[in-house]
Structure 1
């Protein structure tokens, strides 16, 4: 897909991987709609990249629909969707504070998995009516999984389950939407420099980075964004979840 001049939606675009993705897409010439539950953060990024910002709760059907429609009015039908919105709760099933509340598990699944599906279904419904581009392609959706989907650590039951669901829906979604010229992929990042990790002491950050075989450091959000752009440009990438982790395989804790 030619990114230049193409309308794009980036959820969780107000910070972290989503922000880096929004910036990279804008630099490549896309018309970027920055969607985030934090409207102020979305607006700050949008102003810097010449995009548009919209408040959006990806797990709420009405909120997501309103945001996508507002973005359509601003930029036209989006042909690119990158789902970066998510939460990363850490809680043991049986911890010192007692048994994990069911609402905590359901919350992670609702935001990370149901939210990604919600955006995918609404995006696909609109882009299926767009004129096909080169090779019959109409749109590309990229979801964010995690290596925790494969090697979830102790305390990551809810997070790993939600991200495992993102991995699991990638291929069947890609197969279903293929006749419409819509590709679906996912990226499973390892340990990246996010606001949460950057808040740790430098020694702790260095220790986490040293656990990565090579390069022995935390991943940079710009590297995630680079892979997003590569997926968009390579039409043969479809139905695939790509690990972006420096060969890291996480230990139980």
Structure 2
């Protein structure tokens, strides 16, 4: 599917991997709808990108907030005539916590719900609300393609570490939903792809201690460094343009397999 003159909804689009993706798609002629809680960064980004970008302050754990953002995007699409070609569900959080701590207290459900509501529920909620506006697209290719969904999992979906029960659960669920989502949407010519990055430069990794970061970098085979947001964005672009990528999870991890503990 061509990227130019298509609108892409990007959650978490005001920072990190989402921002890099927005900039990359925009450079290819896309219209980008940026959904994020960080209003200051979102507004600045949209202003910097210009007329082919819009920012909508969005809490992906809220159905009403997502609905407002999607409706606003659809209204913008009606003005531009540039159909929604894809959704990149990039909003996510990490909140470490052992299932039971040193005081024999269980991990709080508030902590678990916080992670699941953003990483899993927010991803599915955004997709389900955006899809009806994609199924009505005029097919973009002789194969009848109408769009693509790109979700973001993590290496933790496959080898989560101690303290990552909630995070691994959320990202494992995103990975596992990829194939059934592709099957559900196949009749409409809409693909579903998930990218599972390892250690990448992002707001989440910026909060890591030097010790934690160095431990993770040692687990990388090659290259022995954190991935760059632009490298993630490039794979998103490939996922959009390569029609044979469908119903699959793409590990982007430098052959990293995370150790049980840091």
Instruction: Indicate if the aligned counterparts of 1:198 and 1:205 stay in contact, CA closer than 8 A.
Output: no
Matched residue pairs, number? 253
Ranges in structure 2 where 5+ consecutive residues have no aligned partner: none
Distance 2:210 2:97 in 1: 24
Q: 2:99 is matched with which residue? A: 93
Aligned counterpart for 1:64 among listed residues 53, 66, 70: 66
Structure 2 counterpart SS, 1:99: coil
Is residue 94–residue 204 contact of structure 2 (8 Å, CA) maintained in 1?
A: no
Q: Report the CA distance shift for 1:62/1:192 in structure 2 as closer, same or farther (over 3 A).
A: same
In the TM superposition, what whole-angstrom CA distance separates every residue of 1:200-242 from its partner, at most 9, and x where no partner exists?
5667645532321001110111110000000100011100110
| Residues 152, 203 of structure 1: alpha-carbon distance in 2 compared, 3 angstrom cutoff | closer
Provide the rounded CA distance (Å) in 2 between the counterparts of 1:92 and 1:69: 39
Deviation at 1:38, TM superposition (A): 1.8
Alpha-carbon offset, residue 61 of structure 1 = 1.4
Pair 1:67–1:247, CA change in 2 (3 A): same
Does structure 1 residue 224 correspond to structure 2 residue 203?
A: no
Q: Residue 245 of structure 1 corresponds to which residue in structure 2?
A: 253
Give CA-to-partner distance per residue, 1:110-163, whole Å, 9 cap, x none.
111111101111111111111111121111010000010110100000000000
Q: What is the TM-score of this pair, normalised by structure 2?
A: 0.92
Q: Where does structure 1 lack aligned partners over 5 or more consecutive residues?
A: none
Question: Which residue of structure 1 lines up, in the alignment, with residue 120 of structure 2?
Answer: 113
Distance change in 2, residues 1:122/1:242 (3 Å): same
1:179 aligns with 2:187: yes
Normalised TM-score (structure 1): 0.95
Aligned to 2:33: 33
| DSSP-derived class of the 2:223 partner | coil
The question of whether the paired residues in 1 share the 8 Å contact of 2:216 and 2:258 is answered with no
Whether the aligned pair in 1 keeps the contact of 2:135 and 2:146 (CA below 8 Å) is: yes
